[in-house]
Amino acid sequence: MSADRYLIFHKPYDVLSQFSDGTLPADSPRQTLKHYIEVPEVYPVGRLDRDSEGLMLLTNDGPLQHRLSHPRFHHPRTYWVQVERCPDATALNHLRRGVTIKTGRTRPAQVDLIEPPALPPREPPIRFRKSVPTAWLQLTLTEGRNRQVRRMTAAVGFPTLRLVRVAIGELTLGDLPPGEWRWLTAAEVKQLRQSTHQSVS
């Protein structure tokens, strides 16, 4: 049996969070994880939409993958979100309490306005309109519905322009550049297992 492997990847914009796209010919220019990661038999824990960026965890540890992905375990994920205009206190409190989106009412979230973070430029950049200011939120969810963050900010009237996942539990993106990956340290693996109540060898 092969040893457990754990790595994190900084997914760039416009990259599919899977290793293949069976709907496209082999010579398609669309990029997937295989264009960046050559480690065999590791699989993404959850996913990021094609138009989202940031932290992905990949592993061959099935029990850990299940605990991090299954909604009943309420494992937190943190995002930096650039939105159109600046949300007021009413909108922020609405997000904190939970909003109704296409798939039902969301769980309460941790939401705060933050200063623009020091992120690498996105390629291509977001659409920019001089007449419409933007703001950044830090938003932590304990569930992962399809396009949830975008649907939540749209529901309170502040559409998402850029979305970057920066943490999965205590595991953070740090200064890992877009398109790069690294192995988790032994301490990170231990902490990750502890956070999901797995035994630590």
Q: CA geometry: angle at 102 spanning 101 and 108, to 5°?
A: 30
CB atoms within 10 A of CB 157: 14
Q: What is the CA radius of gyration of the chain?
A: 17
Statement to judge: residues 60 and 114 lie in one domain: no
Tokens of 70: 């299954």
Statement to judge: residues 160 and 85 lie in one domain: yes
Q: pLDDT at position 174, please?
A: 94
Q: Which of 181, 199, 194 is nearest to 59 (CA)?
A: 181
Statement to judge: residues 42 and 64 lie in one domain: yes
CB atoms within 10 A of CB 73: 14
Provide the residue range defining the domain that includes 186.
1-73+170-201
Q: pLDDT at position 198, please?
A: 58
Statement to judge: residues 62 and 105 lie in one domain: no
pTM (two decimals) = 0.91
Statement to judge: residues 158 and 81 lie in one domain: yes
Statement to judge: residues 20 and 35 lie in one domain: yes
> Annotated catalytic, 49?
yes
Q: pLDDT at position 45, please?
A: 92
Statement to judge: residues 48 and 102 lie in one domain: no
Total domains, the chain? 2
Active-site residue, selected from the candidate residues 14, 21, 49, 51: 49
Q: pLDDT at position 60, please?
A: 94
Q: pLDDT at position 141, please?
A: 94
Q: pLDDT at position 65, please?
A: 85
Euclidean distance between CA atoms 49 and 172, whole angstroms: 18
Euclidean distance between CA atoms 11 and 2, whole angstroms: 26
Amino acid type, 131: S
Kindly give the residue spans of alpha helices, DSSP state H, lying in the chain.
Answer: 62-69, 89-97, 148-155, 186-195
Euclidean distance between CA atoms 177 and 186, whole angstroms: 21
- pLDDT values of the chain reduced to their tens digit, one per residue, 201 residues: 468 999 999 999 999 999 876 666 666 678 999 999 999 999 999 889 999 999 999 999 988 888 887 666 678 999 999 999 999 999 999 999 999 998 899 999 999 999 999 999 998 898 888 888 999 999 999 988 889 999 999 999 999 999 999 999 999 999 999 999 999 999 999 998 888 765 544
Q: Which of 195, 83, 196, 192 is nearest to 134 (CA)?
A: 83
Q: pLDDT at position 139, please?
A: 97
Statement to judge: residues 107 and 144 lie in one domain: yes
